[in-house]
């Protein structure tokens, strides 16, 4: 198992109060794929520097650190691309957790 960090930009055009539901769906998908969620860091809503579509001018940023097998990332990425709630997703390798901290 490797540690990964997922940066999710959630679609906030429809309903702002649905962010918690979207985060719950994301963590459930990670757990269903065999991953183990460590931390969920909710950030704030930020405007995009470059607006590609007038309907999407801002997004709600969420950072999730989880452990999973490397082969699971492609499966998770393809699931989140199809999700209406997830505007963008980026997976990177997370640094090792500090012992005793």
| Domain ranges, ordered by start, for the chain | 2-36+48-93
For the chain, 101 residues long, give each residue's pLDDT as a single digit of tens.
899 999 999 986 656 678 888 899 999 999 999 999 999 999 888 888 888 777 778 889 999 999 999 999 999 999 998 888 898 999 999 888 776 55
DSSP output for 21-57: HHHHHHHHHHHHTT-EEEEEEEEEEEE-SS-SBTTB-
The CATH label, of 3.30.9.30, 3.30.70.60, 3.30.1330.120, 2.40.128.110, for the domain at 2-36+48-93 is 3.30.70.60
What is this structure's pTM? Answer: 0.85
């Amino acid at each position: 198992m490797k540690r990964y960090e997922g940066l999710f930009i959630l679609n906030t055009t429809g309903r702002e109060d649905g962010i918690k539901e979207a985060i719950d769906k994301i963590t459930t998908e990670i757990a269903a794929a065999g991953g183990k969620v460590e931390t969920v860091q909710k950030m704030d809503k930020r405007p995009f520097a470059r607006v590609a579509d007038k309907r999407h001018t801002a997004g709600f940023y969420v950072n999730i650190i989880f452990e999973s097998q490397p082969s699971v990332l492609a499966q998770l990425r393809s699931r989140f691309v199809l999700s209406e709630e997830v505007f963008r997703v980026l997976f990177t390798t997370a640094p090792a957790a500090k012992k005793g901290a």
